[in-house]
Amino acid sequence: MLLNTKQNVHAAVDVPCSVVRHVEIEDLGYLGEALAAGGVDYEYIDAETLAHEAPDIAGALILLGGPMSAYDVEGHPYLAREIELVRRRLEKGWPVLGICLGAQIVAAAAGATVHAGELGKEIGWANVELTEAGIADPLWAGFPRRFATFHWHGDTFVVPPGAEVLARTDRYVQAFRIGRHAYGVQFHPEVVPKTLESWIRAYRLELERERLRSEDVLRVPDEQAHRSLAFKFGENVARWLRAIYHRASG
């Protein structure tokens, strides 16, 4: 089932993009605005509709976050379909971007193990540092080497075979690239801070288990800087999607 949230606000749309959303409150955020402005025509797909079939998607593909674990395919059968869908795309060289849970799905599709993080959960605002490969990568063009961003994950992954690590925290790998056509980003560069109140309501029990307060989630170090980098990320993603999509479809 396609959700009726199709965006078409740019006069020269040239890249179709399907966005798999696992829960309604975790959407494209700032990234959606930047993609539309950058010539990417996206529409959301409800992940649960992939329980019975995972069709080939000819355009770009973005997979968003969610509270489930990528390895819980018994509890969420559609996750196995997503992993298979991404695996086929990796083989064909079609562009795919995974964010948080989406990154873990990309890692699993590439043959890596996804598991609970041994060093605990990362929830709230914390710094990410780009590697040398990340500094040179087009998706992070215009970013400082070290920047504050939002995290909400308990799972992590082994780096997929042949992937290049682009960003880290002191606990976990935070971004990787496979070839030039696939990325996984563990943190949330897209998040709009004011929407985090809905996350807090939905995931309140998890915060209580981690002994975190809502203030720990809502306290943005520099909201203007975060918004600026979020849109920079979106511009970079749109540019990358246009280049890879046209190369793959040409």
pLDDT per residue as tens, the chain (250 positions): 334 344 444 334 489 999 999 999 999 999 999 999 999 999 999 998 876 655 666 689 999 999 999 999 999 999 999 999 999 999 988 999 999 999 999 999 999 999 999 999 999 999 999 999 999 999 999 999 999 999 999 999 999 999 999 999 999 999 999 999 999 999 999 999 999 999 999 999 999 999 999 998 999 999 999 999 999 999 999 999 988 877 766 5
Q: Which amino acid is at 219?
A: R
CA 49 to CA 224: how far, in whole Å? 37
What is the chain's percent helix, strand, coil content, to nearest 5? 35, 25, 40
Give the pLDDT of residue 33.
95
Q: Which residues are catalytic?
A: 100, 188, 190
Residue 250 pLDDT: 57
**What is the pLDDT, as a whole number, of residue 51?**
61
In a 13 Å sphere around the CA of 3, the CA atoms on its Cβ side amount to 18
Query: What is the strand order of the sheet 146-153 is part of?
Result: 40-46, 15-21, 60-63, 96-99, 182-185, 173-178, 164-168, 122-130, 146-153
pLDDT of 7:
43
* pLDDT the model gives residue 216: 86
Query: Residue holding tokens 């000819």?
Result: 58
Contact 25, 198 (CB under 8 A): yes
What are residue 89's DSSP bridge partners?
none
Q: Give the separation between CA 191 and CA 189, rounded to whole angstroms.
A: 6
Q: Cα angle at 60 between 93 and 111, to 5 degrees? A: 45
Are the CB atoms for 210 and 117 separated by under 8 Å?
no
CA nearest neighbour of 121 among 219, 221, 206: 206
3-class SS of residue 228 = helix
Nearest to 122, CA basis, from 101, 145, 153, 98: 153
Q: d(Cα 94, Cα 247) in Å, to the nearest integer?
A: 9
- Asked if 68 contacts 100 with a C-beta cutoff of 8 angstroms, the reply is no
Please give the single-letter amino acid code of residue 221.
Answer: P
Note the pLDDT of residue 3: 40
